[in-house]
């Protein structure tokens, strides 16, 4: 793959579309995002998009894995997710894809992670990594190899939306879902949706990241009830 580039998430509300962009346009990807930015949501959608292409993706949540090598994690995930006993890395590389979620929580030295990623790159066609930290900033005494590997990845950041970006997203959502309504009705819909979103965001019930805003707009489209009055989830959010 080419040299890594820094990009931010666009105003696109369709997480499926974003996952297709990641899947089709690069084989080696790192997506950075803060806690509650929607990394895991996007990672699982990427797995679904890959499987629809006839690939056998394995999903590994590194935050819940302790005391295993990455190779062991891959083989175990394949057997658990597909019910197969074959060795995953012995399959044709074109059929393979690994999605690492929360790789920054993997308890391995950076040099070790770098060596493993370099080896996997030769044996697997697609490697997609989701991380809460810049991999080159992880604590270790030897980082040159990992930085070399990371430089070969396309890198993306999931960024929170500001007020103007949210307005643009609401406008595109209204144009897509309500293209047949009159302009006055459209403006009223946008104003009402903006008020509901601002109420949720102001009470910290929804993170200010595009995926969650998209989910709330979908909820508004599916129901006439006041979304700000819906029951909150386990962690105080409507998105749980």
Q: How confident is the model at residue 130 (pLDDT cuts 50, 70, 90)?
A: very high
Q: How many CB atoms are closer than 10 A to CB 204? A: 10
CB of 23 within 8 A of CB of 224?
no
d(CA 85, CA 89) in angstroms, rounded, equals 12
Q: What is the pLDDT of residues 185-201, one digit of tens each?
A: 889 988 988 888 888 88
Instruction: List C-alpha distances in Å: 100 to 86, 207, 215, 216, 230.
Output: 20, 23, 24, 27, 33
pLDDT in tens, 11-66: 334 556 667 667 777 788 889 988 888 899 889 989 998 998 889 999 999 887 76
């Amino acid at each position: 793959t080419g040299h890594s580039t820094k990009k931010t998430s666009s105003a696109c509300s369709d997480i499926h579309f974003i996952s297709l962009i990641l899947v089709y346009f690069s084989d080696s990807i790192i997506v950075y995002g803060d806690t509650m930015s929607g990394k895991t949501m996007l990672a699982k959608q990427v797995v679904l998009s890959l499987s629809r292409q006839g690939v056998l993706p394995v999903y590994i949540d590194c935050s819940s894995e302790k005391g295993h090598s990455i190779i062991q994690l891959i083989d175990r995930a394949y057997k658990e997710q597909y019910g197969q006993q074959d060795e995953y890395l012995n399959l044709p590389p074109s059929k393979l894809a690994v999605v690492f979620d929360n790789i920054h929580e993997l308890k391995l030295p950076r040099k070790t992670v770098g060596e493993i990623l370099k080896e996997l790159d030769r044996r697997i066609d697609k490697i997609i990594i989701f991380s809460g930290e810049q991999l080159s900033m992880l604590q270790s005494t030897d980082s040159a190899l990992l930085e070399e590997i990371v430089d070969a990845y396309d890198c993306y950041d999931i960024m929170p939306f500001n007020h103007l970006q949210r307005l643009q997203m609401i406008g595109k959502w209204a144009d897509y879902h309500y293209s047949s309504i009159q302009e006055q009705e459209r403006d009223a819909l946008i104003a009402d949706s903006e008020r509901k979103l601002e109420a949720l965001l102001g009470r910290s019930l929804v993170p200010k990241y595009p995926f969650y805003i998209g989910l709330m707009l979908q909820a508004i489209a599916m129901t006439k009830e006041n979304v700000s009055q819906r029951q909150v989830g386990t962690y105080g959010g409507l998105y749980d």
